[in-house]
Amino acid sequence: MSGAKARPRAVQYDGYGGADVLRLRDIDPPTPGPGHVVVEVRAASLNPIDWKVRSGMLQQHFPITFPATTGRDGAGTVIATASDVDPAWIGARVCFMAPRGVGTWAQQIALPAALLVRMPASLTFEQAAALPLAGVSAWIGLVDTAKVGAGMRVLIHAAAGGVGHLAVQIARDQHAEVIATCSAANADFVRGLGASQVIAYDKAAFDDRPRDIDVVFDVVGGEVHARSYKVLKRGGVMACLAAGPYKDEGAAHGVEVRMARVLPDSSALSAVVGLAGAGRLKPHIAHVLPLADFAKAQTLSQTGHARGKTVITLEPPV
């Protein structure tokens, strides 16, 4: 019998479409180029960007080359390094946000060592995988872009979602007062995260209630963005993620619209992971699914109204 080790597997697709275009297939084992390491991925998270890119709805903004591997973040163990990378990385438990074009729903991937963040011993691979893209998005949106600080009043939309539930906790850790929107079914969950006021959008119009808000964190766009100007005080900030399209009407309302540029950022990820390691930030994981359930995972996300994060688990190739 041959003693050859099995090739790693990855979730890929050869063209735009629904979850049915996804395939689990063998790939060549990655080799680390200059400045890179190879990570054996043990958990990867699901983010809305995964199915939006796969569906083709973002192809004008994020063109991709097929076959494409899905996924933007995860956690695992370093198993190899390039000759110019400190070999002390080997064996390290790490989490990461991958550069665009490097899919993370794979048993092994090559990544720049500069993007890795060591996991605290208190975090599981699943918890660490839930943090990178969602946590960095919340940190860059609130801390780096909006400069949220003590005493500020912050309205966070979609507060029960993957980014939103971390954003509530980060804003509270910055000693801001948090007002949040979510569905009535998630209201108690969001209060438990630290929101002092929760507005259930399926029970009341959020723009009829709060006023003199310093910062709106908009992860939705569209109509929600347009209605949010009404609640901001003059001189306030609308911090936006690249979600639904919106029209910048900041000048007409005397506020500033700032687009959060979310890119792989080890300093932002280190800050987020540090909060989680200290117990001040807790990712909520709604679903943990094996790699074999890759299509189900993306379908769950595409239905919307998810609470927290969905994580898939991967085993080493054998």
Please tell me the pTM assigned to this model: 0.94
- How far is the C-alpha of 98 from the C-alpha of 106, rounded, in Å? 12
Whole-angstrom CA distances from 192 to 2, 162, 308 are 55, 15, 13
Whether residue 153 sits in one domain with residue 111: no
pLDDT at position 2 is 47
Whether residue 66 sits in one domain with residue 36: yes
In a domain, 1, yes or no: no
Whether residue 177 sits in one domain with residue 94: no
pLDDT over 90 percentage in the chain: 81
Question: Taking each helix axis from N to C terminus, what angle separates 266-277 and 132-139, rounded to the nearest 10 degrees?
Answer: 100
Q: What is the mean pLDDT of the chain?
A: 93
Whether residue 152 sits in one domain with residue 68: no
pLDDT at position 305 is 65
Q: Which CATH number characterizes residue 50's domain? A: 3.90.180.10
Whether residue 239 sits in one domain with residue 179: yes
Q: What is the pLDDT along the chain (318 residues), one digit of tens a residue?
A: 445 678 999 999 999 999 999 999 999 999 999 999 999 999 999 998 898 899 998 887 788 899 999 999 999 999 999 999 999 999 999 999 999 889 999 999 999 999 999 999 999 999 999 999 999 999 999 999 999 999 999 999 999 999 999 999 999 999 999 999 999 999 999 999 999 999 999 999 998 878 899 999 999 988 999 999 999 999 999 999 976 778 899 999 999 999 999 989 999 999 999 999 999 999 999 999 999 999 999 888 777 667 899 999 999 998
pLDDT at position 3 is 54
Count of alpha carbons within 13 angstroms of residue 8, beta-carbon side: 23
Whether residue 187 sits in one domain with residue 158: yes
Q: Which CATH number characterizes residue 193's domain? A: 3.40.50.720
Whether omega before 99 lies within 30 degrees of 0, making that bond cis, reads: no
When divided into structural domains, the chain yields a total of 2
Whether residue 182 sits in one domain with residue 157: yes
Q: Which residues span the domain enclosing 28?
A: 9-130+283-313
Whether residue 92 sits in one domain with residue 60: yes
